[in-house]
A and B are shown apart, each in its own frame.
Chain A
Amino acid sequence: MEEVKRRRGCRTGCLVVLLLLLLLLGWVLAMRWGALERLGLRKPIAEQVFSPPPDRAAAAAITQALEQSGMNTQGIAVHVLPMASGEGSVALFTLDASQGFDPERLLAGAGDWEALEHLLSDQSLEEMNITRLAVDYANEEGKSIIVLTADASELHALSNRDAPQEEVMQAIKGYIDLPALLGEVAP
């Protein structure tokens, strides 16, 4: 009798473990595909964080400074999105090749880096309440393949102490679609 009970216990235990593993796998897949958002059970995190109205004045000031620096801003859009927590805003630079963004043109025209440095200085960003910078690059099909973001104060701290490049790289978070990027890089 005791032997039978032990076997049943093992079977139950195995089933529980299997069930837990399946639940874990299901959870990972659900998170990966944004199931809660797709089912409308939860707003996407970006919608929650950026629910306040955009700061159009700050975005216009940055765009103007980019133009004044001599950059060719075709295909570049700047949005300043305040965060719902009230703890600052994200300045997002959208670089869209499908809208005519061309990095060569961008850099060839840039002459007045001082104006740009001033714009992205501690004081200037603080005045605009910008706490985070982000870049979103879309390829010629308009598909976003690079999204990078960094905390503005962290970047400035690294800049002030001339930190090694590795630390700077770690401060920049985000995502690069490597297969898509490698496809673009291929000559």
Chain B
Amino acid sequence: MKRRLIILVLVLGSMLLAGCGPAVRERATELALEWVAANAAIIGSIEVTGSSTDDDVDAAMGAREVIENMLEAEKLMEEGRKENDLGKMEQAIEKRPGDYTYRSTYSAALLKAGRTKESSDQLKAGFEAAEKYGGRHLQLNAIAAIQELDAMRLDFAGGGVTKDQCMHYYGQLSYLWSVRAYETKQQADLIKSDSYHDLSQSCK
């Protein structure tokens, strides 16, 4: 039964192609017509109003457009990252304002560019977006932001940055590890948070 369900969910309808043998096509056509008969009311509702009246179903039916938009945003973010182009990152965020990972990347890039206030604002905006989706996303956001800042470690540890940048860099890391510690309850994470706080205070 499970196998039949998997086949139904994965390939119902998609077997209805010219390349398939007549027997398979016939069976698949039967399945599709059976499905249409069992869901006539919903199909009618979609035809008339464009909605199935179930938000989850409507969302799943519109997921393809979301993915297309997401892929465009990811391409922009990737190009922005490679070319250090803050404008492309902003465009990506405009396309997917709820994707907090983009804000982490953008925040780190702003910090590197010396735009510290905007960097902190973006980090804050990322957490505000993540908070709407629940605690799990707060943690995912913290992990993503830590990864972004860790990737810039050499730029900041070796000097060559302003005191303001240094303070924001370690201050943000301190905050992010405190968010992680809240979830993990690990003493080591709290110690990291404290250490980064001390480093932010010793910036010159």
- Say whether A and B bind each other: yes
**Interface positions of A (Cβ within 8 A of B):** 28, 31-34, 44-54, 77, 79, 81-86, 90, 92-95, 97, 101-104, 106-107, 113, 116-117, 120, 132-138, 144-151, 155, 158-159, 162, 165-166, 168-170, 172-176, 178, 181, 184-187
CB nearest neighbor in A for B43: A175
CB nearest neighbor in B for A82: B133
Chain B residues touching A, range:
35 or more
The complex places the Cα of A106 from the Cα of B32 at a distance, in Å, of 19
The complex places the Cα of A120 from the Cα of B1 at a distance, in Å, of 13
Do B14 and A174 have beta carbons less than 8 Å apart? no
Q: Which residues of the other chain, B, contact A44 by a CB distance below 8 angstroms?
A: 62, 65
B158 on interface, CB distance cutoff 8 Å: no
Do B57 and A94 have beta carbons less than 8 Å apart? no
Which residue in A32, A81, A84, A97 is a CB contact (below 8 Å) of B63?
A81
The complex places the Cα of A85 from the Cα of B22 at a distance, in Å, of 44
Q: Tell me what chain A mostly uses at the interface: helix, strand, loop, or mixed.
A: mixed
Do B29 and A106 have beta carbons less than 8 Å apart? no
The complex places the Cα of A31 from the Cα of B97 at a distance, in Å, of 25
Do A172 and B35 have beta carbons less than 8 Å apart? yes
Q: How far is the CB of A41 from chain B (nearest CB, A)?
A: 15
- Given contacts A45-B58, A173-B42, A186-B18, are A86 and B134 in contact (CB under 8 A)? yes
Do B66 and A107 have beta carbons less than 8 Å apart? no
The complex places the Cα of A56 from the Cα of B37 at a distance, in Å, of 36
Do A181 and B60 have beta carbons less than 8 Å apart? no
- Given contacts A116-B6, A174-B60, A175-B43, are A135 and B55 in contact (CB under 8 A)? no
Q: Which of these binds chain A: B44-52, B83-91, B106-114?
A: B44-52
